[in-house]
Structure formats: C-alpha cells, structure tokens
Chains A and B, each alone.
Chain A
Amino acid sequence: MAVPGWFLAARTSRRVEARAVLSTTGGDHLGVLDAGGNALASAPLAQVAFGARVGSAPRRLTFPDGSVFETDSHDAVALLEGDTPASRLHGWEAFRPRLIGVVAVGVAGVWALWRYGLDIMVAGAVALTPAPLLGAMDAGTVQALDRLVADPSELSTEERARITGIFDDLVAALPPDSIRAGQDYSLGFRSIPMVGPNAFAMPGGSVIMTDAFVEAFPDSDMIAGVLGHEIGHVVDQHGLKQVYKSLSLYILVALMAGDTGPVLEDILLEGNLLLSLSFSREKELEADAFGVDLMREAGYDPMGLARVFAGLGAMSGGGSDWRSTHPASRERVQRIEDLIAAQGRP
C-alpha cells in the first residue's frame, strides 16, 4: 500500500510531496518515495517512531536519521502502528457516547478531591510541619503586626500577670494528647485600636490579646472564655490548615486544569476566598465548643464566653447599627448556652 503525505529531510523545513510504501519482503520495511519514484528515506518498520495521535493533527513518522514523513491518512497509519497504549488513549478521547462516562468519572473525581482530597493533603502537611517552623511563623507574624498596626500594651503589670495566670490555668487543663511536641503556648498583650476588643491565635501557640478587650471585659470568666476559644484554634490548627488549604487548592488547580492561562488561573484561585469565608464560620463554632469544655475543665464558668458575645453585641448598640441586623453574636450565644445545657451545669 502507498500512503500519500509529505517528506521533510532531517533538520530542514524543506517539504516535498511524497508517499510511504510498506514492503514485506525480508521483514517489514517502510520507504518514502517522491513523485518521481526516487527513494527519500527507508528503515525497518520497527525503527520508525510513530508520533502520538493527537486530535486530527497530521501523523508524524520519524526515521532514524531524523527525517520525517507526515500524513493525514490516519487510518493507514493506525494500521501500520497496530494496537498500542497511545492509540487506545486516542480512542478514549473520541467524542462519542462513551465520553459521557469519562465526564461523569471526571466530575465525581473533582468532587471527591474537593470534598476529601484537600483535607487529606492538609492533614498530611500539618502532620509534617515541624514545631520549630510553627514557632518561627508566629515570630514572623508578631513582627509584622508590631511593624504595621500594633503598639506596646498599656496594661499594668498586675493586670497582665492576672490574665497570664488565667491563660496558664487553661493551658494546664489541656488534654496531654492535644499538645504537639515542641509547641509552646504563650500570651502577649498589644494595643491595636484598629481591631477593638479582640484576641488572635497563631499556629505555633502564640495568643495575642488587645488592651481594648481587657478594658471592655475585665471579668476573669470572660477572659478565660475568649482565651479558651483561641487555644481551641491552636489545638485544631485552624490557621495552619487555612494556609495549607489555599496552597493545596492552588497546586491542585495548577496540576489538574493544566495551562489555563493567567486570567483563568486568577478566577479559579478567587474560589479560595469563597472557601475560606464559609470555612471560618464553621471553625469559629468549633473553637467555641472547645473553649467551653476547656473552661469547665480549668474551673471557670463556661457562660463567660457567651457573655463576651452578648457584650460585643450590646456594645455596638441597638437599632440602626449594622451589627444588630447581624445574627452572628446572638446565634453564637444561643449555641454556647445549648452546649452548656447539653453537658449539664457543673
């Protein structure tokens, strides 16, 4: 049989019309002839490299010397090539009813990755993160905070000692298996007028409380409530998980979706924002529950945390203020009361 196509000599763009001919005398041998019947290239069939079939692009057969025969006669090349993994791959890619099955597997796979794969990657990464690295991350965050928004605390030494005592009580009450080797819980005080009464936890165990919080809620049970909540974030590694979740999503999108182009990559990554916001709600409620348990364990009144949220709600006043249209604080107070009721008052 003679397959029509084009011949390109090794390493040149010169392209001439040609035909490939298979001769079977003395083993399979593939030759390329020009229009005048002159031989251009020839090699045993086994030494001819068949370029993968990709869509409807011309097939490219490369001879050992680097010259190339290319053709649009896909069926003839398929016959020459025989059944290989590469040719079966092309069969799966064809746009026919079977592809619906492939799409279904693809959709299910993406869903499973989103639902379970991400969490597995995150859990693995958290487990592999050494504690000293967490400490260094905390130090970096605190430095940045001090440079950008935070001023030294103006609280009295006695006041600080009292609150640090509460913090130590809570840490001492932590179940031993919840402390990672090398993790170091410490409490710091800062004046950050921008964020009002607030407290934050960092992955390595550093907790920062603002002066405004102590001024607004000096009550020990209330302070224990918010510190317990923050310790809950550290124990469950919420902050670190958040960082790894964004990172894992980025890697997954980059690997799975292929070259999407810069614009589309941005859009896909914006999805992170969606993820992280709906995520933080859930995490806050988890930390509330942890805090309530820890407070009881350390001998504080678990209602302290509920009173903090009630206080935050009341602080912003009633009526026209945006917080009053905002169920968050009220909802959380209710949840904490439910939790305490479910466990029975001490």
Chain B
Amino acid sequence: MNAARENLTPVQVEFKGNAREWFGIWIVNLVLSILTIGIYSAWAKVRQKKYFYQHTFVGGRNFDYHATGKQILIGRIIVIVGLVVFSVLSAIPFLGILLLLALFTLLPWLAVKSLSFNARMSSWSNVRFSFRGTYGGAVKVLLLFPFLAVLTLYLAMPFATRARHRYVIGHHTLGKTPFAFDAPISKFYVAVLAGIGWLLFFGAVIGGAVFVTMGDALLSVLPDPEGATDPAAEMTFIFGIYAFMLVLFIPAGALYFAMVRNILFNNTVLGTVHRFRSTVPPLGYVWLIVSNAVAIVCTLGLLLPWAQVRKADFLARYTTLLVGGSLDGFVGDMTDERNAIGDAYGDIEGLDLDVGI
C-alpha cells in the first residue's frame, strides 16, 4: 500500500450546481406535487437526486441517478399501505406483539433492499454502484450490536457505529471495484465526546444564564393542566425550544457529523489503490448548518434550495479523491442494471443509514 500511496494524484470533488437553478426546479417540484395531491413527489424526488448527483463532478465526470418516478411511487405506496395495515392490526393486543417481532425481523431485510436499490440506481462515469450486504450482517450491525451497546450503558456505542459503517461501506462496489473501510476506534470516541461536550458545556452555560435572569418567571411558561395557556407564555415556550435546538442539538449533531464524515472518507479505500480525503472543518460546518437553519426558518422555507446548494458546495470543497492510477479502469457488472428493476419495491423512504458516501 505504501508504494501505491506515493503515486496518488489528488482530484478535487466539485459541485457545479447553483441556487438559482435549483430554486427553479425545487419550486416547480413543489407546485406539481401539490397540484397532483402528492403523486408527483415521487418524480420530484428523482429530479432532486438527479440535480445534486449530476452537478457533482470528480475528475470531470459526474454522478447520475437512474431510478424513475414510477419506481419510487410504487415503493412509497407499498410502504404507506404497509404502515396503515401495521398500525390498524397492532391495536389488537396479542397480535401487536407478534407484529412488532415481525417488524424487527423485517427491518434488516428492508435496509439491505433499500441500500442495494439506491446503490444500483446511482452511477459515476457510466458505471453503476452496487451493494451486496447479507441479511445476517444487517441483523448484526442494525439490531444486535446496538442492543449490546445499550447494555453497556451506551459506552460501547462507537463500536456499534464503526461496525455499521464497516458493513455498509464494505459491501458497496463501484462496478466490480469494492470499497473497504476500517478506522481506529479512538477516532469515533473523539467524535462522540466532542458532540456530548458541546451539549454539556453550552447546556450548562445557557441553563445557568436562564435561571439567573428569569428565576421564578420560568414557571409561568409551563403549560396549564387544563390546556388553555396564555399566548405570550406559549410563544416564549416555543421560542425557547427553537433556541435550544439552534444552540444545543443542531450544532452538536453537526459537529459529530463533520467529524465522522472525515473519519469515513479518510479511511476508505476503493479497489486497494484509490483513497479519499475529507477535511471538513467541524466548527465551520456547525456555522454552515446553524446559519442555514436560521435562513430557512426566517424565510418560511423559501431559502431551503439555497441552503441545500450551499451545503453541497461546502462538503465538495473539502473532499478529494486520491487516484492511484487512472479513472478509466472501472468496469461495470452486467447484471446490475437488470436486477435493478426487480428491486424497485426496495426503495424505502426514511431508511437512511447516514453514510457519507
């Protein structure tokens, strides 16, 4: 590997989208989704994915997203019908427990389906990605390890996190070329501690300040048992919750995300020769996310497309592919495109395992 490392050529990841263009697409998506009582939203999702994939370039070649609106719509209908049936049946006492068990066994399967669908529908430079994780592996990293980590009072959670990323990244391929990931556990602990540290430090600072300045007045903010509270107190209460989110939870989450993203990229190998480098500055990312959130809330959502483009641009700017050899050598698998249709129902919304690749 050392020999390969010396010949690595850095290639900058570029995001070439802009807020004006994406705003136009986004607002048309929104209008058509409303006019079709939500049906168009499946096509809107495809257009959104295509916009961000196709405007992301590595070495002059962009990504692409190949799912069709129809595939997404079918997937969504299946999920909605499943959820309705589940919630109606789960009200029946004994059946409820059985259904919950069934859901637990189904969850890893759904996750594998969803990952493989999304991988197959994504390509870079005309080569499709694929995901070949097993059900057993998914049971381990999604159910067993997190459960064991909870038994250690969450102290071992970073081990479960690392195992999940190892599983998800390690079973992805670009064409026939596999990804692999491993990293020292200490880095994951550092990221978790940074997030918790932010929560504790700023939680203490704000908590102290609030009690000193407001004291008893704080009590009047609590909801009345009969439900009808004074509007001014309601507003204070809601405003307080938003302020808490903006200062505590959103930044802590962003800090953790940025650090984990760097760990994931910096320790992933593609086909034993290509490597990645992510140098996202954690505090810079916190600022980006918090200012985006403020901009979106203040414009009642109209600046959402601007914020999304700004984030994509920011992340791309700190990401580099270290090419060992040539970008021309990736070869696709003949079977990938054919199987993709059979897995159309595997697109399950909301089963996002938050992996940065």
Contacts and interface: CB of A to CB of B under 8 A. Distances in A.
B228 A285 contact: yes
A109 interface: yes
A68 B64 CA distance: 12
Contacts of A60: 64
Contacts of A329: 226
A277 interface: yes
Contacts of B343: none
B227 A281 contact: yes
A328 B226 contact: yes
A264 B293 contact: yes
A95 B21 contact: yes
B50 interface: yes
A329 B51 CA distance: 55
B55 A57 contact: yes
Contacts of B354: 262
Contact of A94 (B24, B48, B253): B24
B27 A270 contact: no
A223 to B, nearest CB: 15
A267 B48 CA distance: 20
A259 interface: yes
Contacts of B31: 102, 105-106, 109
A165 B307 CA distance: 61
A319 interface: no
B220 A58 contact: no
- The SS class assigned to the A binding surface is helix
Interface in A231-265: 252, 254-264
Interface string B290-310: 001100110001101001100
A68 B25 contact: no
Contacts of B6: none
Interface string B193-214: 0000000000000000000000
B27 A99 contact: yes
B16 A326 contact: no
A312 B292 CA distance: 45
Interface range for A: 35 or more
Contacts of A261: 308, 311
Interface in A310-346: 312, 322, 325-329, 332
Contacts of A115: none
Contact of B304 (A51, A198, A264): A264
A35 interface: no
B17 A55 contact: yes
B335 to A, nearest CB: 11
B254 interface: yes
A66 B127 CA distance: 11
Nearest to A331: B228
A327 to B, nearest CB: 6
Interface residues of B, number: 90
Given A57-B54, A137-B91, A264-B293, A15 B125 contact: yes
Contacts of A99: 23-24, 27
Given A55-B55, A133-B91, A256 B45 contact: no
B21 A56 contact: yes
Contacts of B50: 52, 54, 57
B224 A328 contact: yes
Contacts of B38: 252, 255-256
B50 to A, nearest CB: 5
Given A13-B327, A255-B33, A328-B228, A95 B20 contact: yes
B38 to A, nearest CB: 5
B30 A133 contact: no
Contacts of B253: 262-263
- The SS class assigned to the B binding surface is helix
Interface centre among A11, A257, A278 (most CB of B within 10 A): A11
Interface string B319-350: 00000000111111110010000000000011
Interface stretch (B99-107, B138-146, B238-246, B275-283): B238-246
A54 B25 contact: yes
Contact of A256 (B41, B88, B92, B216): B41
A55 to B, nearest CB: 4
A56 B225 CA distance: 56
Contact of B293 (A51, A259, A263): A263
B250 to A, nearest CB: 6
Contacts of A132: 91
A1 interface: no
Nearest to B37: A117
B34 A109 contact: yes
B93 interface: yes
B155 interface: no
A81 B49 CA distance: 23
A130 B44 CA distance: 34
A76 interface: no
Nearest to A66: B337
B75 interface: no
B29 interface: yes
B25 A256 contact: no
B323 to A, nearest CB: 11
Closest 3 CB pairs of A and B: A11-B332, A57-B54, A136-B91
Interface of B: 16-18, 20-31, 33-35, 38, 41, 44-45, 47-51, 54-55, 60-62, 64, 88, 91-93, 124-128, 175, 216, 219-220, 223-231, 233-234, 237-238, 241-242, 245, 249-250, 253-254, 289, 292-293, 296-297, 301-302, 304, 307-308, 311, 327-334, 337, 349-350, 352, 354
